[in-house]
Structure 1
Amino acid sequence: MENPFSSTELLKSLPGFESHFEQVNGTRIHYIEGGQGQPLILLPGYPETWWSCHQIMPLLASKFRIFVVEMRGMGDSDNPADGYEKKNMAKDVYELTKLLELGKVCIAGQDIGAHVAYSFAANFPGATEKVILFDTPHPEEGMYQLPMLPIPGAQYVYPWWLAFNQIKELPEEIMEGRMNTLIDWMFDQLLVHKEAVTRFDRSVYAFAYNSKDAIRASNSWYQAFNNDIADFREYNKITVPLLAIGGSGYEVLKSGLRENATNVKLVKIEDCGHFLLSEKPQECADHIISFLSNA
Structure 2
Amino acid sequence: MNDPASAPRVSGNPVRDLPLHDLAGFTHRWVEAGGVRLHAVEGGRADGPAVVLLAGFPQTWWAWRKVMPDLAERFHVIAIDLPGQGHSERPDISYDTHTVAAHVHAAVEALGVSTYWLAAHDIGAWVAFSLALKYQSQLRGLALLDAGIPGITLPDAVPTDPEQAWKTWHFAFHLVPDLPETLLDGREREYVGWFLKVKTLSSDTFDGAEIEQYAASVAAGGGLRASLAYYRDAAESARKNHEALERQRLSVPVLGISSSHGSIPDMAASIRPWADHATGIVVPDAGHFIPDEQPDAVTAALIGFLTEADEGEENNEDETGRKHGRR
- Indicate whether the TM-score tops 0.5: yes
How many residues matched?
289
Matches within 5 A, 1:71-82: 71-82=82-93
Matches within 5 A, 1:225-244: 225-234=234-243, 235=245, 236-244=248-256
Residues of 2 paired with 1:191 and 1:92: CA distance? 30
Larger Rg: 2
Residues of 2 paired with 1:218 and 1:59: CA distance? 29
Deviations 1:31-63 (A, max 9, x none): 111111211100000000111111111121111
Cα displacement (A) at 1:211: 3.9
Residues of 2 paired with 1:274 and 1:57: CA distance? 19
Residues of 2 paired with 1:58 and 1:155: CA distance? 35
Residues of 2 paired with 1:95 and 1:158: CA distance? 33
TM-score (norm 2): 0.83
Name the SS for the 1:76 alignment partner. Answer: coil
Q: Please tell me whether residue 257 in structure 1 is matched to residue 271 in structure 2.
A: yes
The RMSD of aligned alpha carbons is 2.1
TM-score (norm 1): 0.92
Name the SS for the 1:206 alignment partner. Answer: helix
The one of 159, 177, 181 equivalent to 2:186 is 177
Deviations 1:105-131 (A, max 9, x none): 001110000011111111101110011
Q: Alpha carbons of 1:165 and 1:156: their partners in 2 closer, same or farther (altered >3 Å)?
A: closer
Residues of 1 paired with 2:167 and 2:82: CA distance? 26
Kept in 2, the 8 Å contact 1:136–1:252? The answer is no
* Structure 1 residue ranges without an equivalent (≥5): none
Cα displacement (A) at 1:137: 4.8
The one of 215, 227, 230 equivalent to 1:206 is 215
Q: Alpha carbons of 1:141 and 1:260: their partners in 2 closer, same or farther (altered >3 Å)?
A: closer
Cα displacement (A) at 1:203: 1.0
Cα displacement (A) at 1:177: 2.3
The one of 26, 33, 49 equivalent to 1:24 is 33
Residues of 1 paired with 2:176 and 2:266: CA distance? 25
Matches within 5 A, 1:51-70: 51-70=62-81
* Structure 2 residue ranges without an equivalent (≥5): 6-15, 312-327
TM superposition outliers: structure 1 runs of 4+ over 4 Å? 1-5, 141-144
Q: Alpha carbons of 1:109 and 1:199: their partners in 2 closer, same or farther (altered >3 Å)?
A: same
Name the SS for the 2:239 alignment partner. Answer: helix
Cα displacement (A) at 1:95: 1.1
Name the % identity.
26
Residue number in structure 2 paired with 1:287: 301
